[in-house]
Amino acid sequence: MSDLESSSIASLPVMDEMAHQTYPSATLYVVATPIGNVTDISLRALHVLSLVNAVACEDTRNTATLMTRFGLHKPLIAAHQHNEREAAELLIARLQAGERIALVSDAGTPAVSDPGARIVDAVRAAGLRVLPLPGASAAVTALSASGLVNDQFYFVGFLPAKAKQRENFLGTLRAVTATMVFYEAPHRILDCASALASAFEPTRQVVFARELTKMFEEIHRCPLSEAEAWIKADGHREKGEFVVLLAGAPPADDENDVEADRILQVLLAELPVKQAAGLAAQITGRKKNALYDRALQLKN
């Protein structure tokens, strides 16, 4: 009896449909796994995990536990951030021998702020097939429940750990109009909130999505000016994995705003803020006070 036949999902009618689909050999299957709630795995993912010859994973202990919960048992290959290149060579050799290999991370979609990108790149460079199986993603899960209305989002991932590097990096994002998506560790969430509050306008909306899909899931939205106080109000809010969403900058009203910014940036490279704003007002015909405020934002 196969692993699939012995598992509880084998009796589902839809499994017959999956059995008649094509699952090519010599293929790397990039498989998304749950980010918290174990039942969020897809039926297709379970079927593929039952078919592959081996599973390449970030942590063999975590993946062994997940597989066991579904009655699946496969050889596991460690493929984490410290050995991706070596693991890629091993996986390519096995794929070239005609095997099917699944690639998973500890949670969510591999290669998205998780190991896997180098392996996928190497497998593709070797002329082998990569087949993705969609599933859980913390970034998209948080976006769907944020209520931030924007047709675009900009995935940032983890911010630099050092304060000055974080400050400089956030400075490059001030003009981004898309909703920004950050990942953050619990021990840095307060520093993250403080850095965002310093870098962006206090009225910007921020969403903290904590422990998504887990028992203590919490999704909170507020202006940046209230972010630090909200975290400090409850010690539990500095625990768990975080997705932080930040509303993007309002789009420029028209092309004149873009041109005014360009002129200000040129002038600010040579002149103090007040003089740059005054000269920009003469050039553009726009109000000096508004240009002065904008010059301060650009200067910082």
DSSP letter at 159? P
**Over the stretch 84-133, which tens digit does the pLDDT of each residue have?**
889 999 999 999 999 999 999 999 999 988 889 999 999 999 999 999 99
What number is the average pLDDT over the span 48-57? 96
Q: How many residues does the chain have?
A: 300
**Tokens standing for residue 238:** 């500095």
- Cα torsion for 115, 214, 196, 286, to the nearest 10°? 100
The pLDDT assigned to 49 comes to: 96
* Cβ(157)–Cβ(182) below 8 Å: yes
Residue 251 has pLDDT above 80, yes or no: no
Domain ranges of the chain: 14-136, 139-246, 255-299
Sign of CA dihedral 29, 30, 35, 41: negative
* Cβ(161)–Cβ(61) below 8 Å: no
**Over the stretch 193-215, which tens digit does the pLDDT of each residue have?**
999 999 999 999 999 999 999 99
**Phi–psi pair at 26, nearest 5 degrees:** 55, 40
The pLDDT assigned to 289 comes to: 86
**Over the stretch 127-156, which tens digit does the pLDDT of each residue have?**
999 999 999 999 999 999 999 999 999 999
Q: Place 299 in a pLDDT band, splitting at 50, 70 and 90.
A: confident
| Count of CB atoms situated within 10 Å of the CB of 275 | 13
Residue 181 has pLDDT above 50, yes or no: yes
What number is the average pLDDT over the span 168-195? 94
The pLDDT assigned to 191 comes to: 96
**Domain boundaries 139-246, corresponding CATH code:** 3.30.950.10
**DSSP element (H, E) containing 267:** helix 255-268
- The answer for residues whose C-beta is within 8 angstroms of residue 204's C-beta and 6 or more apart is 196, 223, 224, 246, 247
Q: Place 217 in a pLDDT band, splitting at 50, 70 and 90.
A: very high
What is the C-alpha separation between 90 and 160, in angstroms, rounded? 32
What is the C-alpha separation between 285 and 287, in angstroms, rounded? 7
Residue 229 has pLDDT above 70, yes or no: yes
Residue 6 has pLDDT above 70, yes or no: no
**Phi–psi pair at 233, nearest 5 degrees:** -70, -20
Sheet harboring 54-57: ordered strands across? 76-78, 54-57, 100-104, 27-31, 129-133
**Domain boundaries 14-136, corresponding CATH code:** 3.40.1010.10
Bridge-based pairing of strands 27-31 and 100-104 is: parallel
The pLDDT assigned to 255 comes to: 54
The pLDDT assigned to 16 comes to: 77
The pLDDT assigned to 5 comes to: 45
Between 295 and 33, whose confidence is greater?
Answer: 33
What is the C-alpha separation between 141 and 41, in angstroms, rounded? 14
Q: Place 46 in a pLDDT band, splitting at 50, 70 and 90.
A: very high
Residue 1 has pLDDT above 50, yes or no: no
Between 97 and 5, whose confidence is greater?
Answer: 97
